[in-house]
Amino acid sequence: MNFWLDGENLYVLDGSVGKIIPFSYSSGNSHKQEAIEVGNSLFEGFAKTKTGFVGLTGGGMERLWQFLNEEGK
């Protein structure tokens, strides 16, 4: 499981089900937000960008970078 901190948001990758789960937090409180489906993109790792996400997919010689918007498309 990978995660990314961005301001007051924490994004957690659950690659086994193809979802990025966002949490907002401030003043010690956290709130789980609606999961972002990444579809068939089985990310091994990811990062938040200004407009969405970038993830590393595949394995071995077939590793690819995939870019998604904030809705996972």
Task: Dump pLDDT digits (tens) for 16-27.
Answer: 788 899 999 877
In the chain, what is the greatest distance between 2 CA atoms, to the nearest angstrom? 44
CA 67 to chain centroid? 11
For the chain, what are the domain ranges? 2-69
Contact between residue 70 and residue 51 where contact means Cβ atoms under 8 Å apart: yes
Distances in whole angstroms, Cα of residue 51 to Cα of each of 7, 11, 19, 45, 71: 14, 14, 17, 17, 10
3-state secondary structure (DSSP) of residue 61: helix
| pLDDT value, residue 61 | 61
Query: C-alpha angle with apex 9: 7 to 13, nearest 5 degrees?
Result: 125
Q: What percent of the chain has pLDDT over 90?
A: 23
pLDDT band, residue 55 (cuts 50/70/90): confident
